[in-house]
Amino acid sequence: MDEARCLPYAPLPLLQEAESAAKGIIYCRSKALCDKIAGVLGCLVYYADMEGSREEVLDRWQQLGGPIVSTSALGVGVDIPHVRFTLHVERP
């Protein structure tokens, strides 16, 4: 939690305390920020040219729930049911 408070984004500590099974998307404009926030929250990350398979990440997220941190790549042609929240860390 202390690490999350160092980030200049107030909602992150609230997300850490939220129900872990609630499926949500945290959007960032850069891959670097996606990786940083996913590291703090301990959740999955998704962007266009990531290492490994994006489909595997989405399948895992659908099974586990919780938040996922992504660029706008997650939202183009992807239909995911039961998303409880979205958060834009920076202006889109």
pLDDT of residue 2: 47
What count of Cα atoms within 13 Å lies in the side-chain half-sphere of residue 59?
5
DSSP class of residue 51 equals S
Range of the domain at 75: 2-88
Query: Does residue 13 have a pLDDT over 70?
Result: no
Please tell me the pTM assigned to this model: 0.78
User: Tens digit of pLDDT for each residue in 16-43?
Assistant: 655 567 889 999 999 999 999 898 888 9
Task: Give me the CATH number covering residue 36.
Answer: 3.40.50.300
CA angle, residues 59, 62, 64, in degrees to nearest 5: 105
- 33 is written with which tokens? 């920020």
- Give 6 or 82, the one with higher predicted confidence: 82
Total structural domains in the chain?
1
